[in-house]
Structure 1
Amino acid sequence: MWNFDATSSVLLVVDMQRDFVEEGRPMEVPMARKRIPQMRQLVDGARAADVPVIFTQHVLYDAFDVSPLETSNNPRLLTEGMRAGSDGIEIVDGLDSRPTDHYVQKHRYDAFYNTNLELLLNTVRGYRQVDTLVIAGTLTEVCCESTARSAFMRDFKVAFAGESTGALSETAQAATLDAISKYFGRVMDNAEILQGLTDGAR
């Protein structure tokens, strides 16, 4: 089993947007809202250790259907949710996102697909200095898991934050954590990740 090394890591916070998190929003995920304090711990820990923080934003358009298979599964998304230019794509206030953080807009569950994420990972700490993604955010069983699998296929180590990801159900959360831990990475709790970040900052 590989060791977690903060000096070659980034924190990837997936889709913690107002339309996914806030009460009454189109894609509300109560577990993600409940776990904002744990995610904030990781964001603060990463900053303290000079580990880059990357936020993804799932974005849809009014002018045309940029994700037709996604909207065929959830027709509500044809007219509302995560609209470009709306407050719904903004990162929730509780995570203290800053202009100095990095942002990746995506149109598929997998944050690598047709985005600049891999380019960012290969340069943000110097040329190919990043080999580990700490993944937090929502939905655990959709965008977080899709991105974790895609990272693994690209030979990135995956540190999946079990306490700082939010699913639509406890069953879905458990299923993803089981699959990740068996095949695609390490499921780590906040204490383990924060200890790794602290060790890396020394």
Structure 2
Amino acid sequence: MEVPEARRRIPRMQELIEACRVQQIPVLYTKHELYDQYDVSPLETAYNPLLKQVGMRAGTPGVGIVEELAPLPNEPVITKHRYDAFYNTNLETIIRTIRGTGMADTVIITGTVTNVCCESTARSAFMRDFKVVFVSDATGALNEAAHQATLDTIGSVFGRVMSTGEVLSGIHNKSEEEVPV
């Protein structure tokens, strides 16, 4: 399930992760996992039957987080079974409590695939009253048209689309109480 554009954007993701760690902004990871024993995402595998044999199968490298972005031992890794990282996971609870109850009001989204998992999660965060920062050059899609369509949609309705540089500037210029999760 390699997404070449996302792999090219790893250095920007690394910059953001490191800046968040330095500023003590929690870094959370998600991994999309499907099982051999039963079909936890039947429509996903119906639309993409190849996923029944390869890709995001439990216990395979396809569900792993790339080494360059490896989480630290104290950083949560949420296993998800659908594109939306909030759906049927504890992501919302973790975000709402990781810095203390009610302290987090913003999510910064990076990763892959821009117009699938990233967009689904951004929309879901918005619906839960989180401010959404969608990092335009730290998300990767299968093609530029899909990437741009998502940036346009998120930016016009569901959040703020920002470059890595803009996010880094914001992280470094805010006081600790105002730094987003």
Q: TM-score, normalised by structure 1?
A: 0.85
Structure 2 CA distance, aligned partners of 1:111 and 1:171?
Answer: 23
Structure 2 CA distance, aligned partners of 1:60 and 1:172?
Answer: 24
Structure 1 CA distance, aligned partners of 2:112 and 2:62?
Answer: 15
Give how far 1:201 is off.
5.7
SS in 2 for 1:171: helix
Q: Which moved more, 1:35-44 or 1:95-104?
A: 95-104
Give how far 1:88 is off.
2.2
**Partners of 1:49 and 1:201 within 8 A in 2:** no
SS in 2 for 1:181: helix
Give how far 1:104 is off.
0.6
Instruction: Tell me if 1:136 matches 2:110.
Output: yes
Instruction: Tell me if 1:29 matches 2:3.
Output: yes
Q: For residue 25 of structure 2, what is the aligned residue in structure 1?
A: 51
Structure 2 CA distance, aligned partners of 1:152 and 1:91?
Answer: 25
Which of the pair has the greater relative contact order for Cα pairs under 8 Å at 6+ separation? 1
Long gaps (5+) in structure 1: 1-26
Deviation track 1:134-175 (CA, whole Å, cap 9, x = no partner) reads 000000000000000011111100000001000000000100
**Partners of 1:71 and 1:77 within 8 A in 2:** yes
Residue correspondences, number: 176
Q: For residue 92 of structure 2, what is the aligned residue in structure 1?
A: 118
Q: For residue 109 of structure 1, what is the aligned residue in structure 2?
A: 83
Long gaps (5+) in structure 2: 177-181
**Partners of 1:49 and 1:200 within 8 A in 2:** no
Q: TM-score, normalised by structure 2?
A: 0.94
Instruction: Tell me if 1:97 matches 2:71.
Output: yes
Q: For residue 179 of structure 2, what is the aligned residue in structure 1?
A: none
Structure 2 CA distance, aligned partners of 1:96 and 1:113?
Answer: 23
Instruction: Tell me if 1:63 matches 2:37.
Output: yes
Give how far 1:200 is off.
3.1
**Partners of 1:50 and 1:201 within 8 A in 2:** no
Structure 2 CA distance, aligned partners of 1:41 and 1:142?
Answer: 23
Give how far 1:128 is off.
1.5
Q: Which moved more, 1:183-192 or 1:76-85?
A: 76-85
Q: Which moved more, 1:79-88 or 1:27-36?
A: 79-88
Give how far 1:86 is off.
2.2
Q: Which amino acid aligns with 2:173?
A: D
Instruction: Tell me if 1:188 matches 2:144.
Output: no
Backbone CA RMSD of aligned residues:
1.1
Q: Structure 1 runs of 4+ off > 3 angstroms?
A: none
Structure 1 CA distance, aligned partners of 2:62 and 2:161?
Answer: 29
Equivalent of residue 155 in structure 1, options 119, 122, 129: 129
SS in 2 for 1:32: helix
Once the two structures are aligned, what percentage of the paired residues are identical?
56
